[in-house]
C-alpha cells in the first residue's frame, strides 16, 4: 500500500498516521498538510524519522502539487482527512471551508481518477462526519447511512458537498471510493477550540468554561484511536461506493461531559458559565453503526470513562503542546467568538 494521507498534522489524521505506520502492509505513507492553524507539525514529528514516511507541506487544492505527489510517490491509496473542521469558525469565515472541504476534495478526486485511468489506484477513503445528516432534535431516532443529507451550518454543508462529489466519482468514473461518517471524536492532540479540550485547558487555567444554550445538546463520543482503526478497516475492507457510520455508542449531554471533565481535574462546577447558544445548534447526533460492525468487524474498544481519563491525563502531561496554541492569536479568536456569546471576563489563575 502506497498511501497518501491528507491532514495528517491534525487531530484525527495524526492518530491515523500512527495506526497506518504500525502495519507492515503499508509500504509508504505521504502526509500532505498545509499546516493551517489546526495543523501541528509536532503531532507527527517523531514519525519524521521513519524511512517509510514523508511530510509534504502544501495545499490539497493545489492541483499541480497533488499531481506531482501522486506521480513521484506512485500513490495507490488515499485517506482524506484534511479539512476546515470547526463549526463555530464556519459561522464567520465560511470561504475557507469551501476552498478546502469542497475544492480540495475535488482536486484529490481528480488526481485519483487520473491514477486509476493509468491502472494504478486501489482505494480512496473519504473521511466525513455525522453532521452531514443534520439534526435529530429530541427524537429517539438515529442516523442511518441511508438517511438523506440535511446539513445545517456552513461546515456541515461543505462536508456534505464533498461527500456528494466523492460519491459521484464512484458512479461516473468507477473510482473505488469508500466514505466513513463518524461521530464526535475526542482524545489526545485535539485542537483546544473543540468542546473537550477547550474545557480541559480552560479549567487547567482556572478560567470559566462556556456551555452553549441549556447544555442539553447530545453528542456521541468516539475515542480518536477507535476512529483511526475504523477508517483503516473501511479502507481495507469497505465496499466501493459504500458509506460506513462509525459511532462511539456513548451519547452524552454536553453538561454531563463538562461535569465529568471538571471532576476528573478536581475543579469546581462554579467554573461553568452558560452562554448564548450557537446559531443553528444541532440538538442531537446519534449513529446506527451496524453496517461497520457487521461488514468491517469494527467496534469501538475504548469506554467513555477510559477515554476521558486518557484524554485528561494527556493534556495534563503535555502542557507545552497546548500552551503554544493558546497564544495571542487564539485569544483573539476566543474573544471574537465568546465575547459575542456573553462570556464573562476571565478570572486570573
> Which position among 4, 5, 17, 82 is part of the footprint of ligand NAD (CB under 6 A)?
82
Q: Is 155 known to be catalytic? A: yes
The packing angle between helices 304-317 and 254-265, to 10°, is 50
Give yes or no for residue 86 binding ligand TDX (CB under 6 A): yes
> Which position among 12, 66, 149, 195 is part of the footprint of ligand NAD (CB under 6 A)?
12
**CA 28, chain centre distance (Å):** 23
Give yes or no for residue 4 binding ligand NAD (CB under 6 A): no
Give yes or no for residue 189 binding ligand TDX (CB under 6 A): no
For residue 276, what is the DSSP state?
A: P
Q: Which of 130, 163, 220, 226 is catalytic?
A: 130
Give yes or no for residue 217 binding ligand TDX (CB under 6 A): yes
**Site stretch for ligand TDX (CB under 6 A), options 2-10, 54-62, 211-219, 287-295:** 211-219
Give yes or no for residue 36 binding ligand NAD (CB under 6 A): yes
**Three-class HEC string of 70-130:** HHHHCCCEEEECCCCCCHHHHCCCCHHHHHHHHHHHHHHHHHHHHHHHCCCCCEEEEEEEH
Min dist CB 85 to ligand TDX, Å, is 4
**Site stretch for ligand NAD (CB under 6 A), options 78-86, 142-150, 295-303, 335-343:** 78-86
As a whole number of angstroms, the distance between CA 97 and CA 127 comes to 15
Min dist CB 224 to ligand NAD, Å, is 8
As a whole number of angstroms, the distance between CA 126 and CA 82 comes to 10
346 binds, among ligand TDX, ligand NAD, none (CB under 5 to 8 A by kind): none
Radius of gyration of the chain (CA): 20
Q: Is 59 known to be catalytic? A: no
Find out whether 230 and 298 touch, Cβ atoms under 8 Å.
yes
Min dist CB 195 to ligand TDX, Å, is 4
Number of residues lying near ligand NAD (CB under 6 A)? 30
254 binds, among ligand NAD, ligand TDX, none (CB under 5 to 8 A by kind): ligand TDX
Q: Which of 155, 186, 244, 315 is catalytic?
A: 155
142 binds, among ligand TDX, ligand NAD, none (CB under 5 to 8 A by kind): none
Assign 3-state DSSP to the chain and report helix, strand, coil percentages, each to 5: 45, 15, 35
Our CA dihedral for 200, 201, 205, 210, rounded to 10 degrees, sits at: -70
As a whole number of angstroms, the distance between CA 66 and CA 238 comes to 25
Closest CA to 236 of 299, 290, 295: 295
**Site stretch for ligand NAD (CB under 6 A), options 77-85, 111-119, 235-243, 284-292:** 77-85
Closest CA to 220 of 253, 259, 263: 253
As a whole number of angstroms, the distance between CA 126 and CA 281 comes to 25
Closest CA to 38 of 5, 16, 61, 12: 12
7 binds, among ligand TDX, ligand NAD, none (CB under 5 to 8 A by kind): ligand NAD
Number of residues lying near ligand TDX (CB under 6 A)? 16
Give yes or no for residue 211 binding ligand TDX (CB under 6 A): yes
Closest CA to 195 of 276, 138, 253: 253
**Site stretch for ligand TDX (CB under 6 A), options 192-200, 240-248, 300-308, 310-318:** 192-200
Note the residues at the interface with ligand NAD (CB under 6 A).
6-7, 9-13, 32-36, 38-39, 59-61, 81-83, 85, 100, 104, 127, 129, 159, 182, 184-185, 191
Q: Give catalytic residue positions.
A: 130-131, 155
Amino acid at each position: 500500500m502506497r498511501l497518501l494521507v491528507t491532514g495528517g498534522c491534525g487531530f484525527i489524521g495524526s492518530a491515523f498516521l500512527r495506526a497506518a505506520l504500525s502495519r507492515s502492509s503499508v509500504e509508504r505513507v505521504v502526509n500532505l498538510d498545509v499546516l493551517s492553524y489546526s495543523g501541528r507539525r509536532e503531532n507527527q514529528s517523531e514519525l519524521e524519522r521513519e524511512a517509510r514516511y514523508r511530510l509534504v507541506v502544501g495545499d490539497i487544492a493545489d492541483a499541480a502539487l497533488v499531481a506531482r505527489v501522486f506521480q513521484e510517490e506512485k500513490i495507490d491509496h488515499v485517506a482524506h482527512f484534511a479539512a476546515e473542521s470547526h463549526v463555530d469558525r464556519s459561522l464567520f469565515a465560511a470561504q475557507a471551508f469551501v476552498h478546502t472541504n469542497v475544492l480540495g476534495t475535488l482536486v484529490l478526486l481528480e488526481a485519483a481518477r487520473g491514477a486509476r485511468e493509468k491502472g494504478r489506484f486501489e482505494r480512496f477513503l473519504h473521511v466525513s462526519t455525522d453532521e452531514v445528516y443534520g439534526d435529530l432534535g429530541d427524537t429517539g431516532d438515529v442516523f442511518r447511512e441511508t438517511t438523506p443529507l440535511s446539513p445545517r451550518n456552513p461546515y456541515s454543508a461543505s462536508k456534505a458537498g464533498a461527500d456528494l462529489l466523492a460519491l459521484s466519482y464512484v458512479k461516473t468514473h468507477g473510482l473505488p471510493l469508500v466514505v466513513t461518517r463518524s461521530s464526535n471524536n475526542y482524545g489526545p492532540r485535539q485542537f483546544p477550540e473543540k468542546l473537550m479540550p477547550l474545557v480541559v485547558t480552560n479549567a487547567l487555567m482556572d478560567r470559566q468554561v462556556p456551555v452553549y444554550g441549556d447544555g442539553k445538546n447530545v453528542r456521541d463520543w468516539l475515542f480518536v484511536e477507535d476512529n483511526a482503526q475504523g477508517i483503516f478497516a473501511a479502507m481495507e475492507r469497505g465496499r466501493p461506493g459504500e458509506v460506513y457510520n462509525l459511532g462511539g455508542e456513548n451519547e452524552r449531554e454536553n453538561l454531563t461531559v463538562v461535569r465529568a471533565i471538571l471532576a476528573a481535574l478536581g475543579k469546581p462546577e462554579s467554573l461553568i458559565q452558560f452562554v448564548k447558544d450557537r446559531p443553528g445548534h444541532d440538538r442531537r447526533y446519534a449513529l446506527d453503526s451496524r453496517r461497520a460492525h457487521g461488514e468491517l468487524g469494527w467496534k469501538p474498544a475504548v469506554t467513555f470513562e477510559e477515554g476521558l481519563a486518557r484524554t485528561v491525563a494527556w493534556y495534563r502531561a503535555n502542557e507545552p503542546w497546548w500552551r503554544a496554541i493558546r497564544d495571542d492569536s487564539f485569544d483573539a479568536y476566543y474573544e471574537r467568538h465568546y465575547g459575542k456569546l456573553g462570556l464573562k471576563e476571565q478570572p486570573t489563575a
